[in-house]
Structure 1
Amino acid sequence: MQLIEINKARYRKHLNRVIVGCAASLAAGSLAISQTLIALFPDESGSHFHWNLTGVVITSLAIGWLLNKYRTHPYMTEVVYVWELKQALNKITRKMPKLKAAGREGNPAALLAIHYSYAGSRLLWQLDDNLITMEDLAIKQAELDSVAAQFNLTLNADDYEESILKQF
């Protein structure tokens, strides 16, 4: 997955609208379905937990289906890209101890995966205005750059492919 520049204002606007839309749909849909089920199948004990839960589950499945159906819509481009980037970075994070150990020994694939993780994290943190941890990231990047220089490697995030994680 290539790292691309994202229009921050557009991303935030679209993400906020998607979140609000999902939350409103979940509330309205769950309530409508559960109230319909309660009206059709009343319970004398007054406990309608199972109908309320059914409403939430059905509405959640419908929202998930709609999000999946419209994931290729131009409105969702930035939101889906960031979601997929977070998934890619999570895969690297799960292997980070092995990657760092191999990186200290000069493994180019490990160093490239770590470099991609740092570059992707930097992109995400800038989009989310999470600038507090950027200093720590800069320190880690400098350490990575010195290790790469020690082994005469040039790291480019565009060269990263998820398949290299299979080695670790």
Structure 2
Amino acid sequence: MKLIDIDKTRYRKHLNRVIAACIATLVIVSLAISQTLIALFPDESGSHFHWNLFGVVVAVVLIGITLRHYRKHSYMVEVTYVWDLKQSLNKINRKIRKVEALAKQGNTQAMLVLQYSYAGSKQLWQLDDNTILMDELIIKQAELDSLAQQFNVQLNADEYDEANLLHF
């Protein structure tokens, strides 16, 4: 996955609307289904937990199907990009200790994975206004730059390919 620049205000606006639509859909669909089932099949004990749960499950499945269907829609470009970026960074974070150890030994692929991870994390944190760990990220990036210079390696996050993770 390639890192691309996206408009933060557009991303936030679209994300907030998608979240609001999902919440509204969840409430409306789950209540409609569960109340319909309760009216059709009342429980004499008064417990309708299973119908309420069924309504929620159906609503979640419908929301998932809808999001998947509209994933490529132009309105969802930024939202989908960030979701994919988070998944990509998650895959790296699962192997980060091994990657960091190999990078310190001069492994070019490991350094490339770290470069992508740092660049992607920086972009993600800026988009989500989560700058708490930014100082730590700057320190890690400086360490990586030092390693790259030590081993005479040019790092470009655009050269990252998820297949690189198979080596670790």
**Bucket of the pairwise TM-score, normalised by the shorter protein:** over 0.9
Structure 2: distance between partners of 1:136 and 1:105: 21
> RMSD of the TM alignment (CA)?
0.5
Match of 2:131 in 1: 131
Letter in 2 for 1:158: D
Show the counterpart of 2:67: 67
TM-score (structure 1 length as normaliser) = 0.99
Q: Show structure 2 runs of 5+ residues with no match.
A: none
Cα distance in 2, alignment partners of residues 131 and 60 from structure 1: 31
Query: Secondary structure at the residue paired with 1:5?
Result: coil
Q: Which amino acid aligns with 2:104?
A: R
2:20 counterpart residue number: 20
CA distance in 1, matches of 2:137, 2:167: 25
Distance in 2 (CA, whole Å) between partners of 1:94 and 1:131 is 22
Equivalent residue, structure 2, for 1:101: 101
Mean alpha-carbon deviation: is it higher for 132-141 or for 73-82?
A: 132-141
Following superposition, the deviation at residue 130 of structure 1 comes to 1.3
Partner of 1:116: 116
* 2:151 maps to amino acid: F
TM-score, normalised relative to structure 2 = 0.99
Q: Which amino acid aligns with 2:16?
A: N
- What letter matches 1:151 in structure 2? F
4+ residue segments displaced more than 4 Å: none
Query: Which residue does 1:148 correspond to in 2?
Result: 148
Q: Counterparts of 2:129 and 2:37 in 1: how far apart (Å)? A: 44
CA distance in 2 between partners of 1:56 and 1:154 (Å): 51
Structure 1 residues 84-95: aligned runs within 5 Å: 84-95=84-95
Mean Cα deviation higher: 96-105 or 131-140: 131-140
1:129: Cα distance to partner?
1.1
Structure 1: where are the runs of 5+ without partners?
Answer: none
Alignment of 1:2-41 (within 5 A): 2-41=2-41
**Amino acid corresponding to residue 66 of structure 2 in structure 1:** L
How far the C-alpha of 1:135 sits from its partner, in A, is 1.0
AA at the equivalent of 2:30? S
Matched, 1:162 2:162: yes
Offset at residue 132 of structure 1 (A): 2.2
